């Protein structure tokens, strides 16, 4: 019968083999997502340093436009929004995540590089009606429309 040391050695070998398989799977997934040469696929945005910056969605409602910036791991304090030369500028900056004492980073594909996205504000936007909220990894920036561009819509009223 095996002793505890032999059993621990077998478990350790299995864990290492599992980690190697997981590492290969993550690398294969990353290469599929970015292309074999590590370049982002079409649709991804990179800054001048070649780092990927958050992707966005823009949604229009009858009263506003909403810019959704995918930025998991950030906090409200990591964003700066400005209006400059008829453009909305969204900046994000976060320090690199530091390993806790006693921890060693084995793989790090995710980074927090500084990013900047800007969007021209057209004549429909009321620059005084801009608000932002950060929830569950998404920065939501709402740009209110000027009154003359707000679409009329029917109200749902229950009649008794």
Give the model confidence (pLDDT) of 69-103 as tens digits: 998 888 899 999 999 988 899 999 887 666 788 88
User: What is the mean pLDDT of the segment spanning 37-46?
Assistant: 46
pLDDT at 39: 41
- Asked if 135 and 76 sit in the same domain, the reply is yes
**Domain enclosing residue 63, as ranges:** 42-98+111-151
| Overall pTM > 0.75 | no
**Taking residues 129-143, what's their average pLDDT?**
94
Domain-located, residue 77: yes
Domain match, 3 and 58 both: no
**What pLDDT sits at residue 16?**
58
Confidence of residue 36 (pLDDT cuts 50, 70, 90): very low
Domain count, the chain: 2
The answer to whether residues 94 and 57 belong to one domain is yes
In a domain, 160, yes or no: no
Do 25 and 93 share a domain, yes or no? no
79 and 3, same structural domain? Answer: no
Rounded Cα distance, 55 and 69, in Å = 6
Residue 105 inside a domain? The answer is: no
């Amino acid at each position: 019968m095996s002793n505890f040391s032999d059993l621990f050695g077998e478990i350790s070998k299995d864990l290492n083999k599992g980690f190697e398989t997981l590492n290969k799977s993550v690398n294969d997934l990353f290469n599929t997502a970015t292309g074999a040469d590590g370049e982002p696929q079409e649709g991804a945005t990179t800054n001048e340093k070649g780092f990927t910056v958050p992707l966005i969605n823009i949604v229009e409602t009858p009263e506003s436009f909403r810019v959704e910036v995918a930025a998991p791991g950030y906090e409200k304090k990591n964003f700066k929004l400005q209006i400059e030369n008829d453009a909305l500028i969204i900046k994000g900056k976060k320090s690199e995540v530091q390993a806790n004492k006693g921890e060693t980073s084995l793989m790090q594909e995710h980074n927090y590089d500084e990013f900047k996205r800007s969007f021209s504000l057209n004549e429909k936007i009321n620059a005084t009606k801009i608000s932002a909220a950060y929830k569950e990894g998404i920065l939501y920036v709402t740009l209110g429309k000027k009154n003359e561009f707000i679409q009329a819509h029917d109200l749902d009223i229950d009649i008794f």
